[in-house]
A and B are shown apart, each in its own frame.
Chain A
Amino acid sequence: MFDPGLFNYWIIMILMMTGLYTVIVKGNLIKKVIGLGIFQVSVIMFFVSMGKVRGGTAPIASESFEVYSNPVPHVLMLTAIVVAVATLAFALALIVRIKEAYDTIEEDEIRELEAGEEG
Chain B
Amino acid sequence: MVVRHVILRSLSKMLIPLIMLFALYVQFHGDYGPGGGFQAGVIFGAGIILYSLIFGLPKAKMVFRPRVLQYLMAFGVFLYGSVGLAAILKGGNFLDYSHLAHDPVHGQHLGILLVELGVGITVASVMATIFFLFTERRRREDV
Residues of B within 8 A of A89 (CB): 130
Whether B38 sits at the interface, judged by CB under 8 Å, is: yes
A-B contacts counted at CB < 8 A amount to: 13
Q: Is B67 an interface residue (CB 8 A)?
A: no
Known contacts A60-B32, A60-B33; A78 and B134 CB within 8 A of each other: no
**Tier of interface size on chain B:** under 10
Which residues in B have their C-beta under 8 angstroms from that of A96?
Answer: 134, 137
Q: A residues 65-104 with Cβ under 8 Å of B? A: 78, 82, 89, 92-93, 96
CA distance A92 to B134 in the complex (A): 9
Chain A interface residue count, Cβ-Cβ cutoff 8 angstroms: 8
User: Is there contact, CB below 8 Å, between B38 and A93?
Assistant: no
Q: Which residues of A contact B137 (CB under 8 A)?
A: 96
For the complex formed, measure the closest distance between the CB of A102 and the CB atoms of chain B, giving whole angstroms. 15
A60's closest neighbor in chain B, by CB? B33
CB of B20 to closest CB in A, whole Å: 20
Beta-carbon contact of B133 and A93 below 8 Å? yes
Chain A proximity mask over B115-131: 1 for CB below 8 Å, otherwise 0: 00000000000000010
A interface residues, Cβ below 8 angstroms from B:
58, 60, 78, 82, 89, 92-93, 96
